[in-house]
Amino acid sequence: MDAVTPDAARILAAAKTKPSREEAEAAVRTLISWAGDDPSREGLLDTPKRVVKAYEEWFSGYDADPLKALGKTFEDVQGYDDMVMLTNIDVESHCEHHLAPIMGVAHVAYLPSKAVVGISKIARVVEIFSKRMQTQETMTAQIADALTDAMEPRGVAVLVDAKHQCMTTRGVHHPNVSTITTTFTGEFRNDRDLKDRFMRLVERA
Q: Which pTM was predicted?
A: 0.89
- Nearest 5°: CA angle at 183, between 130 and 107? 55
Domain ranges of the chain: 6-58, 72-204
Tens of pLDDT, residue by residue over 106-136, are 999 999 998 889 999 999 999 999 999 999 9
Which of 1-5, 47-51, 133-137, 167-171 is predicted least confidently? 1-5
The amino acid at residue 164 is H
- Asked if 166 is an active-site residue, the reply is yes
Residue of 25, 127, 134, 136 with catalytic role = 136
User: How many contiguous H segments (helices) and E segments (strands) does the chain have?
Assistant: 9, 7
- Asked if 94 is an active-site residue, the reply is no
Mean pLDDT of the chain: 92
Q: Assign a CATH topology to domain 6-58.
A: GTP Cyclohydrolase I; Chain A, domain 1 (1.10.286)
Count of other CB atoms within 10 angstroms of residue 204: 7
Tens of pLDDT, residue by residue over 12-23, are 676 678 899 999
HSE (CB half, 13 Å, CA atoms) of 73?
17
- Asked if 107 is an active-site residue, the reply is no
Q: Does domain 72-204 have CATH number 3.30.360.10?
A: no
Residue of 23, 56, 97, 137 with catalytic role = 97
Give one DSSP letter per residue of 26-69, joined into a string: HHHHHHHHHHT--TTSGGGTTHHHHHHHHHHHHTGGGG--HHHH
- Asked if 174 is an active-site residue, the reply is no
Residue 152, SS3? Answer: coil
Taking Cα atoms as reference points, which of 65, 131, 57, 143 lies closest to residue 93? 131
Q: List CB contacts of 148: < 8 A, sequence separation 6 or more.
A: 156, 185, 186
**Residue 1 pLDDT > 50:** no
Residue of 92, 165, 166, 187 with catalytic role = 166
Distance CA(153)–CA(40), nearest Å, equals: 55
Residue 196: pLDDT band (50, 70, 90) is very high
β-pair partners for 117: 73
Give first-to-last CA distance, the chain, whole Å: 41
- Asked if 173 is an active-site residue, the reply is no
